[in-house]
Chains A and B, each alone.
Chain A
């Protein structure tokens, strides 16, 4: 799809091909969206009804400007718009429970407001929601169509597959089932979700109706195209509002109950080998390096609760706080919400198996590496997990870091450290190469060592590298 209209300085966004209403493209590195003539009336209604104004005012839809550029010369083009940019594109299989829940509620709220303006959502893809300045926001300006009285909500099936099914599976079965979204790009099939949900959900009327019964209806009416004739009914506006209100109530009442002991990190910072002085020293060193580099963006790999990510985000730097621990990321997100933090985005990711490129031609959803590089990566008390727990050699680590960052703030933990000894307790020590000297030598292949500082009252070492 990338080559569909490729010309010099003009490239269509690979994921933008499903909706005939228009497409995203880059011109001289700037992102634009072409509004096709077929979407003209709905686009004009979006603007004239006041829906665009209300949604952008409430920060529920990205703003855009109408512009003139190459795309506007196309015969099927009605207009070209330049949308507000998202700092980091994230995907639902990287979100915590509450991030997905808030994204679902945002989608339903947008549809409520759209109905008040005589429009409705024509699709409810979870990929239409992104996080901007700490809040979920709709990025697809073409998701609205004129509301047609007596017609059912065309995006209901998609909403249940993209939002309700994964949330229900996370809340009632196992939080890790969110990863099914990585396998099923059009949401979790409802018959699969129905099978995986525990029997207790038979007495949960909302889940029973919108997932289990829904799955049964999908099977029963497969191939039948005469919807309303089949049962001789129409769906009025009250019915539509009732459906949305019902879905909102179900999702608002969903909670993910976890025991803090289930967290890999839980009480990590209280249990680790840092004295208060060591902890403050580590923070001060990182802070001084960030001030010196002045990056536009930071990825904190192995961020835990975001303690060190906030050194960057509090300096108004766009920061993504990755961690493998669902509970740590959930807590971090709830903290960002509570404190109304705008520059930090907590995400769940397993760096030993990061998000791959998925979808049509491997281009619809990007891999983690494809979404980089960034100015700075933090890898604090982290790489020993990759080296010891996953047997990743230093040479492979350095290649990975060189592909995602310009500057690297990294902490080396020696073998004598009790945290590392814990990792070695249950395995044979085959890591004879694991030493600070070998580490620096391996990283020197792609990076220049700028500074090396031993943390006070600790054997741990902080290093600042810059890519050669």
Chain B
């Protein structure tokens, strides 16, 4: 994990001028694929956490989706 962070930091620090011709889609996709795993895990944990809070307190948590649904009702 630490190695990955150092790698990412090095990539940013060594920013250089963009070339005139670029393919902006590929880099965006690669970044998403790298982020996808951790953000997906965090998202699932967040959902479970909100479910646990709801179970323990009987109240709706601060989960954005449940708030949106509440608004719709």
Contact = CB atoms under 8 A, between A and B. Distances in A.
B42 A221 contact: no
A227 B28 CA distance: 9
A222 B36 contact: no
A215 B16 CA distance: 10
14 contacts: A58-B72, A191-B17, A214-B31, A220-B27, A221-B26, A223-B22, A225-B26, A230-B30, A238-B40, A239-B39, A240-B36, A241-B40, A242-B41, A246-B42
Contacts of B68: 109
B60 interface: no
Contacts of A216: 11-12, 15, 27
Contact of B23 (A112, A154, A221, A233): A221
Nearest to B44: A238
A416 to B, nearest CB: 53
Interface stretch (A205-213, A334-342, A361-369, A387-395): A205-213
Main secondary structure of the interface of B (DSSP, over half): helix
B25 interface: yes
Interface string B7-35: 01001100111110111111111111111
B37 interface: yes
Contacts of A233: 33-34, 36-37
Contacts of B72: 58
Contacts of A228: 29, 33
B32 A152 contact: yes
B22 A152 contact: no
A160 B29 CA distance: 12
A243 B35 contact: yes
A214 B28 CA distance: 6
B21 A152 contact: no
Contacts of B30: 217, 221, 227, 230-231
A245 B33 contact: no
Contacts of B54: none
A157 B26 CA distance: 9
Nearest to A194: B15
Main secondary structure of the interface of A (DSSP, over half): helix
A235 interface: yes
Contacts of A152: 28-29, 32-33, 36
B32 A242 contact: no
Interface of A: 58, 109, 112, 152-154, 156-157, 160, 189-191, 194-195, 202, 208-209, 212-225, 227-228, 230-231, 233-236, 238-243, 245-246, 248
Nearest to A161: B24
A195 to B, nearest CB: 8
Contacts of B11: 213, 216-217, 220
A228 B26 CA distance: 9
Contacts of A194: 15
B29 A227 contact: yes
Interface of B: 8, 11-12, 15-19, 21-44, 46, 64-65, 68, 72
A212 B14 CA distance: 11
Given A224-B26, A234-B33, A239 B18 contact: no
Contacts of A217: 11, 27-28, 30-31
Contacts of A209: 31, 35
A257 B43 CA distance: 29
B19 A222 contact: yes
Contacts of A241: 40, 43
Contact of B24 (A157, A195, A231, A239): A157
Contacts of A213: 8, 11-12, 31
Given A112-B65, A157-B25, A222-B22, A215 B32 contact: no
A212 B12 contact: yes
A236 B31 CA distance: 14
B40 A157 contact: no
A263 B29 CA distance: 41
B33 A218 contact: no
B27 A222 contact: yes
A65 B56 CA distance: 47
B12 A222 contact: no
A156 B23 contact: no
Contacts of B12: 202, 208, 212-213, 216
Given A157-B24, A214-B27, A219-B27, A239 B15 contact: no
A109 B40 CA distance: 17
B26 A239 contact: no
Given A213-B12, A233-B34, A242-B39, 14 more contacts: A112-B65, A160-B28, A191-B15, A217-B31, A221-B26, A222-B23, A236-B40, A238-B43, A238-B44, A239-B35, A241-B40, A242-B36, A242-B41, A245-B39
A239 B40 contact: yes
Contacts of A240: 36, 40
